[in-house]
Structure 1
Amino acid sequence: MNRHFLYIFFCVNIVIFVGFETVIALNHEMVKSTSESSEDSALLGFKKAVIQELQEMKGEMLLLKMENEEKDSKIKNLEQKVANLEKGQRHSVIRGRRGMFQNIAFTAYLDHSEHNLTQDQPIIYNKVLLNDGGGYNTNTGMFTAPVAGVYLFSYSVGAKVIPDVHLSQYDVFTRLIVDGVHQLSAVAESTSTWDDEQGSTTAIVYVPDGATVWTKHEFKGGNNLYSAEFERITSFAGTLLYEKEPVDNSGIIG
């Protein structure tokens, strides 16, 4: 009987032990599965959070891009307005200057003869008929441009052979000088006694603001210039045609 009891007790213990091990194994598998499921759930949640954050960043970037484009558009509009204002101001200044200087014109003449002229000596037209704008100077014989623009200039010189007078050399050669550069020339030659001769030329040229325009004697032949109060055949005149911005005068031949 005791042996039978021990056998039964032994078998029960084995069953209990095996069952306990099985329960432990099952519990371990359940814990492992739960852990893996938790890890997958956490990873999935992290991915979702990252995706949501990226989407939010993308939205913010799009918003910033739109704001930048709007600011760029406003900046371009402001730049255009500034350019228009500057252009308008320049035009206003030009119109104002034109209002101040549009009446620029002069005419002067020489009321006597000049003898023994030297090389490059300025011809001074000492009598003034008109000097609007005050550009012509009777002391120097030079016209100073009050404003840059295109001007018309015309001048004439006289030659006359008069017996027993200094005008024994009967020809004269002169040049028109604009801003230090020779533009045109005028020549007069009297070939007989009491023969009145007049040489003249006309030029339409650009003159910078503040530049001088004048005529001078060129020592090529005669050195006497004829004129008189009652004849006034030696004269100098000019007028502003229109204002103009500075130009390149490098092509002018000196």
Structure 2
Amino acid sequence: MIILNTRFVRYTRALVMFLIALIFLIPLVTADSTQPSLQDVIERLMVVENRLKESEELIKKQEIRINNQDVQINNQQLKINALVEEVAGLKAVIGTNRIKLTSNNREIKGLRRQVYVGNEKNGKKKKHLTESRINSFARGNSGISGKFPRQTVGGGIAFTAFLDHDGDYGAGQTITFNKIITNDGNGYNTHTGVFTCPEEGMYLFTFFVGERGEMDGVTQIWADLVINSNNVIDAFAETRQFQEDAQGGNTVVIRLKLGDSVWVRSRFAGHHIEGDQTRTTSFTGLYLYP
């Protein structure tokens, strides 16, 4: 977009200069009997020069306006990307809830069958398999509140992922930790870099960002932990010398609702993150309690 606009401005500037020069020089060439004096030529050239300066000022203003529009377009694209990530997270939650619903319905059917068999054999209900208890469990399952016993979600929710490559990031860009170490509950998405809460409760999140100086001078990365597009906590790493290593991180314990989205993003444009085999840039989340 910026390259095309720059070429257009150059071609426009050249065309304007040519037309202005042509307008003022034609009378000099076509004059019949009266030859212009040197002073007349100088004055006309000065007029042409002034008009060229005015045209250049106008072109500069147009360039500034185009650049501002490009910045606005980039900001809108970042917002669109964030919304797409949230939609993907909500779709993942819907899929998880469907699996929960199917599993719990099967468990309810199994409990009902046990009650039936027990009644047939003993002529009475067993205390730990009463019909009222089963109905209560079924009513709780119909709401999908996320408060089922821990064994119904596979034993827990926890993830750790790291970045396996260096990267340059723009302002507000999501850092996608692409290598999984742990992902119990399948809440973290390596394609979007977003963790989507599969169960309401208290969670712990921690993240680290690494930096290595490629030359003398300041090199830095500033990252934010974001929940539903709200900045919660920050971390940064900064180096000032060639091959100097730095790592920054932070931790937060916070309550999430079902479907909440959590990710890490770069605060400013032009920042660099060290990844590769050092594994100094990572993201971890853990379910603590309801």
TM-score, normalized by the shorter chain, greater than 0.5: yes
Task: Give the distance between the partners of 1:131 and 1:237, measured in 2 at CA.
Answer: 10
Assess, with a 3 A threshold, how the Cα gap between structure 1 residues 140 and 94 changes in structure 2: closer, same or farther. Answer: closer
Task: Give the distance between the partners of 1:94 and 1:114, measured in 2 at CA.
Answer: 37
- For residue 100 of structure 1, report the CA deviation from its aligned partner: 2.2
TM-score (norm 1): 0.55
Task: Give the distance between the partners of 1:201 and 1:213, measured in 2 at CA.
Answer: 14
Is residue 2:162 matched to residue 1:118? no
Matched to 1:227, the amino acid is G
Structure 1 residue aligned with 2:221: 172
Is residue 2:179 matched to residue 1:127? yes
- For residue 190 of structure 1, report the CA deviation from its aligned partner: 1.0
Matched to 2:175, the amino acid is I
Q: Does the Cα contact within 8 Å between 2:218 and 2:241 map onto a contact in 1?
A: no
- For residue 202 of structure 1, report the CA deviation from its aligned partner: 0.4
- Which aligned pairs between 1:187-206 and structure 2 lie closer than 5 A? 187-206=236-255
Structure 2 residue aligned with 1:234: 281
- Greater gyration radius: 1
Assess, with a 3 A threshold, how the Cα gap between structure 1 residues 217 and 108 changes in structure 2: closer, same or farther. Answer: same
Q: Does the Cα contact within 8 Å between 1:169 and 1:224 map onto a contact in 2?
A: no
Task: Give the distance between the partners of 1:95 and 1:237, measured in 2 at CA.
Answer: 23
Is residue 2:267 matched to residue 1:218? yes
Matched to 1:105, the amino acid is A
Is residue 2:188 matched to residue 1:140? no
Q: C-alpha deviations, 1:13-56, integer Å up to 9, x for none?
A: xxxxxxxxxxxxxxxxxxxxxxxxxxxxxxxxxxxxxxxxxxxx
Q: Gaps spanning 5+ residues in structure 1: where?
A: 1-81, 244-254
Q: C-alpha deviations, 1:149-204, integer Å up to 9, x for none?
A: 1100000001111249xxx7610111001122111001100121111100000000
- For residue 90 of structure 1, report the CA deviation from its aligned partner: 4.2
- For residue 89 of structure 1, report the CA deviation from its aligned partner: 5.3
Assess, with a 3 A threshold, how the Cα gap between structure 1 residues 169 and 224 changes in structure 2: closer, same or farther. Answer: farther
Structure 2 residue aligned with 1:157: 209
Task: Give the distance between the partners of 1:98 and 1:104, measured in 2 at CA.
Answer: 10
Q: Does the Cα contact within 8 Å between 1:169 and 1:223 map onto a contact in 2?
A: no
Q: C-alpha deviations, 1:91-128, integer Å up to 9, x for none?
A: 9976635322341000000011102x111000000100
Assess, with a 3 A threshold, how the Cα gap between structure 1 residues 98 and 89 changes in structure 2: closer, same or farther. Answer: farther
Q: Does the Cα contact within 8 Å between 2:202 and 2:287 map onto a contact in 1?
A: yes
SS in structure 1 opposite 2:272?
coil
1:185 maps to which of 213, 228, 234: 234
Q: Does the Cα contact within 8 Å between 2:194 and 2:261 map onto a contact in 1?
A: yes
Matched to 1:206, the amino acid is R
Matched to 1:234, the amino acid is T
Task: Give the distance between the partners of 1:132 and 1:87, measured in 2 at CA.
Answer: 25
Assess, with a 3 A threshold, how the Cα gap between structure 1 residues 203 and 241 changes in structure 2: closer, same or farther. Answer: same
Q: Does the Cα contact within 8 Å between 2:160 and 2:285 map onto a contact in 1?
A: yes
Q: Does the Cα contact within 8 Å between 1:179 and 1:207 map onto a contact in 2?
A: no
Task: Give the distance between the partners of 2:173 and 2:146, measured in 1 at CA.
Answer: 36
Cα RMSD, aligned residues only = 2.6
Task: Give the distance between the partners of 1:241 and 1:214, measured in 2 at CA.
Answer: 18
Assess, with a 3 A threshold, how the Cα gap between structure 1 residues 95 and 213 changes in structure 2: closer, same or farther. Answer: closer
Matched to 2:250, the amino acid is T
Task: Give the distance between the partners of 2:206 and 2:250, measured in 1 at CA.
Answer: 6
Counting helix residues as a fraction of each chain, which structure ranks higher? 2
Assess, with a 3 A threshold, how the Cα gap between structure 1 residues 184 and 94 changes in structure 2: closer, same or farther. Answer: closer
Q: Gaps spanning 5+ residues in structure 2: where?
A: 1-131
